[in-house]
Structure 1
Amino acid sequence: MDEVEITDVDDLPQMEKAPIKNQDLNFLSFSAGDLLSEYGWYLLAVTVLIYLLIQHLSKRRSRVPSSPPAQTPQDAVLVARRQEGMEAARRKMQEDLDTKAAIFREKQAQQEQEKRRQKIEIWESMQLGKSHKGTTKHPQTTEETSSSTAASKPKTDKKSLRSADYNPLTGQGGSCSWRPGRRGPSSGG
């Protein structure tokens, strides 16, 4: 057996003992808490601004195409057909508009000629000493005359509606013989 020598701990030379440090991460939580309590709102604002800047740049990047797509000959033919179709549709719409405008101008010219003719007739009748009111009336068609006579009410004699024995001064024969006067202050002064 080997001999083992036992020495007393107090007999060992004294070494400078370093203070024992925490081996866990508590010190980190205290320093992070101090940092957040001092600069928390500033850190939050900077974080939000950085996030918004990243979002803005990503949207801008997605809008700008990196390179124009190469057109195939088939796409060019398709685009040409669409443009020709649109041009044909525009021409057709313009022709329709032109025909409608021509019809409208013809109607306007006819109305102006009719007005001129009526004015000439009125002037000629005035020269002859006749009244112009009789000449301006247009003859009605049979449908217009039948509808106008049906719409007019026959005249009735207003005196025949009154009964002979009704007299408002006597209070007989009516639904009410006396009505109260208007409420409120009297007018006058």
Structure 2
Amino acid sequence: MDDVEITDVNDDGSLYQVEKAPLKNQDLSSISLTVGELLSQYGWYLLVVTVLVYLVIQHLSKRRSSQSSRSSPPQTPQDAVLVARRQEAMEAARRKMQEELDAKASIFREKQKQQEEEKRKQKIEIWECMQQGKSYKGTAQPSQATGEASSSTTVLKPKADKKPLRGADYNPLTGQGGGSCSWRPGRRGPSSGG
């Protein structure tokens, strides 16, 4: 806007002039400046007060909800009976599950004992076979080995002392005293390859 000048004439004839200042844009800029100034001076205080008010409101709402739950009408006898029945049913289900678990555990223990007994019998059979000089194959079943031992009526004789297959002067490292084969170390020195 343009500056407006108003000229007035006084009673005595002198001119009276009134000048109006230019109008400013009257939007929210003055308010934002005021708020910005307040925040810059008291911002931390306002933040702390806001957080405290929020916490007090939360505390009061919790207290009010707990008081309202306390003031609710007491349970009727039917509700108490219903709760007792549910607890008994849950306890019965727990007992049943525990009994099943105990039964499975006892079956598992029995199987473990049977396996240990079979392993023990197998080790005894292996030891007996070794004492008699027999060879024991690990793939043979323990029941077959006991059946074979009971059916055989012949007694095995212990084997006589074994004689060395080669002469007493045999030494494989020297290459002497052997048969047609002998090993000789290779030549030392650089290889002849190129």
- TM-score normalized by structure 2? 0.47
- Higher strand content, 1 or 2: 2
| Structure with bigger RCO (C-alpha 8 Å, 6+ apart) | 2
- Higher helix content, 1 or 2: 1
- TM-score normalized by structure 1? 0.48
